[in-house]
Structure formats: C-alpha cells, structure tokens
C-alpha cells in the first residue's frame, strides 16, 4: 500500500498531477492515495518535494535522494560507451565476483516494465554450467537434424547452422572424455550465465539491455546467446533445470566473464533509418 505522511505533506498536488492511473487526490489540503487503481510505480515517492510518501510493499532503504554529482551522466561519454561495446566470445579463466553479478541484476531489477509489472526474473548458472551446456547442445543437435532432414529452398540458408549445432554436440561429447574446453562454441568457457525470463518479452529485453551496460561498466564482457534461446524453446528439461516461473518465458541468455580480448576503437554502422514527419 502507498501511504502519505500527512504531517509532512503540504498539499502541493505534484503527486496527483504525475499519477498516471489517477489514484491520488487532494483532500482538505493533503494528498490522499486511494490504492484502488495504483500500480505501485513510485512516481509519487520520487516527485514529492517533502518526502512525504512511502510504501510498506517495498524496501524504502532502496530510495536515494537525487544529487547531480552521483546521478548525472555525460551524454557524449554515454554514447561513446554504447558505441564501443563489443560482443565477447573470448573469456579469461577467471571467476566473476558475486557482488558484480548482483550489480548487473540490480540494473535489470530497476529497468522499467509495462504497467510496473516487475515480471522479470534472473537465473544465475555457475555450478550447473556443464549440465546446462549438455542439455542445450542436445537440443540444438536435435533441431539441426530435424532441419537437415527437411531442407527446402527457403530453409537452405539455415543449413550451415544445423551442421554447426551437430558439430558442437559432437565436440562436447568428445571434450567430456578428455575434459578439454578448447571447442566450447556455446558458452565460450565463460564462468557465468544469466538467463533472463519474463511474462512480457519487452520487459525482459529492456532489462537485458541495461544489464549489458552495467556488465561493460564493470569491466566484464557479454554475449547474448541466440543459440541458447532457440534450444530452450519448448524444451521441458531446460525449463525445469532453470526453474522458469509459471507464465514466463526465456527472453535472453547472457554469457559473461572477463574478456580475454582487447578492442582499440569503435566500428562503423549503417546510417540510421529515420522517418521524419
């Protein structure tokens, strides 16, 4: 429930004005939150100049007062930071600290969600990486064999992927025998995988984007594995292993660790496809 400290409230009406579901009204010179259509977005907490709004549903210790020195990000530096990011497929044999993993997840937790659903969940895989690798490659092998068995002119362009998946599985089985990691083309020997799930795809995608920015800010690198997401589709073994919540689906798979590669510059891109009206 959202609450108002009437002793602090001065009835300025800023909370009511900014409340999208119109759940706040000014009564006798004080803000009154009806908690009927409220979506617990927290705008009223953020906008109150007197810090008079609070909630017993979340931890109010999460709330931080704004100050320019700690909150303001230079726009040019941010753009360069985004341009410089690279997908990483070479990782050092080095563990990622727990506090860094939690900070990456924190960036996802604070990402906006539609109607403030906060439906995004995170599964961190470390100890179970080898098991997840096996389940994933087994699924990809099956999909590859099915694809090769019914190639058409429309699906011919996927033939190389099907052959790659089968080869990856074969390499995995042989690597199991000699404990070699040289041919890991799925997780690239990274020490951590974070699987992002959500009820709404856009919520998980937005969270993943912010998580990637935090990953790079922490000196780590990441790869979003489309192969894994494809392998996990309709795969009960993988879904059960990850303990995916009811009504949720896998949105992204973030493979992360310390990069074992160094880049020196940004790269070119197509011109922006913009329509001005």
Block means of pLDDT (10 residues each) for the chain, length 277 residues?
96 97 97 97 97 96 96 97 97 97 98 97 97 96 93 88 94 69 86 98 98 98 97 95 96 98 97 98
**How far, in Å, CA of 118 to CA of 198, rounded?**
9
Token couple for 213: 């920015």
The whole domain housing 221 covers: 75-129+185-257
Q: Which of 110, 122, 136 is nearest to 41 (CA)?
A: 110
| Residue 272 lies inside a defined structural domain of this protein | no
Phi-psi domain of 226 (left: phi exceeds 0; alpha: psi -120 through 50; beta: other): alpha
Q: What is the pTM of this model?
A: 0.93
Q: What SS3 state is found at 105? A: helix
**Is there a contact between 228 and 136 (Cβ–Cβ < 8 Å)?**
yes
12 within a domain of the structure (yes/no):
yes
Give the number of domains in the chain: 3
Tokens of 177: 């025998």
Q: Which residues of 5-44 are buried (b: 16+ CB within 10 A; e: fewer)?
A: eeeebebbebbbeebeeebbeeeeebbbbeeeebebbbbb
Q: How far apart are CA 106 and CA 96, in angstroms?
A: 16
Are residues 115 and 213 located together in one domain of the fold? yes
What are the helix (H) ranges across 118-158?
129-148
| 270 within a domain of the structure (yes/no) | no
Angle at 237 between CA 258 and CA 159, to 5 degrees: 70
192 and 248 together in one domain: yes
Q: So what's the pLDDT on residue 174?
A: 84
The dihedral region occupied by 169, where left means phi > 0, alpha psi between -120 and 50, and beta the remainder, is alpha
**Are 191 and 133 within 8 A, CB to CB?**
no
Contact 53, 23 (CB under 8 A): no
Q: Does an H or E element contain 230, and which?
A: helix 226-232
Q: Which of 21, 36, 62 is the last residue of a domain?
A: 62
Say which CATH number the domain at 15 has. 3.30.70.20
Domain final residue pick, 163, 178, 193? 178
Evaluate whether 260 touches 212 at the Cβ level (below 8 Å).
Answer: no
Token representation of residue 272:
């922006």
Collapse the DSSP code of 220 into the 3-class scheme (helix H, G, I; strand E, B; otherwise coil) and give the result.
Answer: coil
Measured CA to CA in angstroms, residue 275 lies from 79, 166, 197, 271 at distances of 21, 43, 33, 12
Q: Which two tokens stand for residue 27?
A: 């009564």
The partner residues of 54 in beta bridges, in order of sequence, read: 3
Is residue 65 a contact partner of residue 50, using CB atoms and an 8 Å limit?
A: no
Query: What's the sign of the alpha-carbon dihedral 39, 42, 43, 45?
Result: positive
pLDDT, position 181: 59
CATH code: domain of residue 235? 3.40.109.10
Is 52 in the same domain as 158? no
Co-location of 110 and 198 in the same domain: yes
């Amino acid at each position: 429930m959202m609450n108002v400290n009437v002793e602090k409230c001065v009835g300025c009406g800023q909370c009511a004005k900014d409340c999208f579901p119109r759940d706040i009204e000014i009564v006798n010179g004080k803000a009154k939150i009806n908690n009927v259509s409220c979506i617990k977005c927290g705008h009223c907490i953020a906008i109150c100049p007197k810090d008079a709004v609070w909630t017993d549903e979340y931890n109010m210790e999460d709330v931080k007062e704004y100050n320019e020195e700690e909150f303001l990000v230079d726009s040019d530096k941010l753009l360069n930071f985004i341009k410089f990011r690279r997908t990483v497929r070479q990782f050092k044999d080095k563990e990622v600290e727990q506090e860094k993993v939690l900070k990456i997840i924190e960036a996802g937790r604070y990402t906006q969600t539609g109607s403030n659903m906060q439906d995004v969940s995170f599964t961190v895989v470390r100890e179970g990486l080898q098991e997840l690798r096996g389940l994933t490659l087994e699924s990809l092998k099956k999909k590859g064999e099915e694809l090769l068995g019914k190639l058409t002119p429309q699906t011919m362009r996927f033939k190389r992927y099907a052959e790659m998946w089968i080869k990856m599985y074969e390499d995995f089985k042989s690597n199991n025998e000699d404990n070699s990691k040289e041919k890991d083309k799925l997780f690239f020997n990274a020490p951590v995988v974070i699987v992002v799930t959500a009820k709404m795809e856009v919520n998980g995608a937005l969270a993943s984007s912010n998580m990637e920015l935090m990953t790079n800010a922490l000196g780590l690198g990441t790869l979003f594995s489309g192969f894994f997401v494809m392998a996990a589709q309709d795969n009960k073994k993988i879904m059960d292993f990850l303990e995916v919540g009811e009504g949720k689906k896998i949105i992204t798979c973030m493979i992360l660790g310390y990069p074992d590669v160094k880049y020196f510059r940004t790269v070119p891109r197509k011109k922006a496809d913009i329509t001005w009206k």
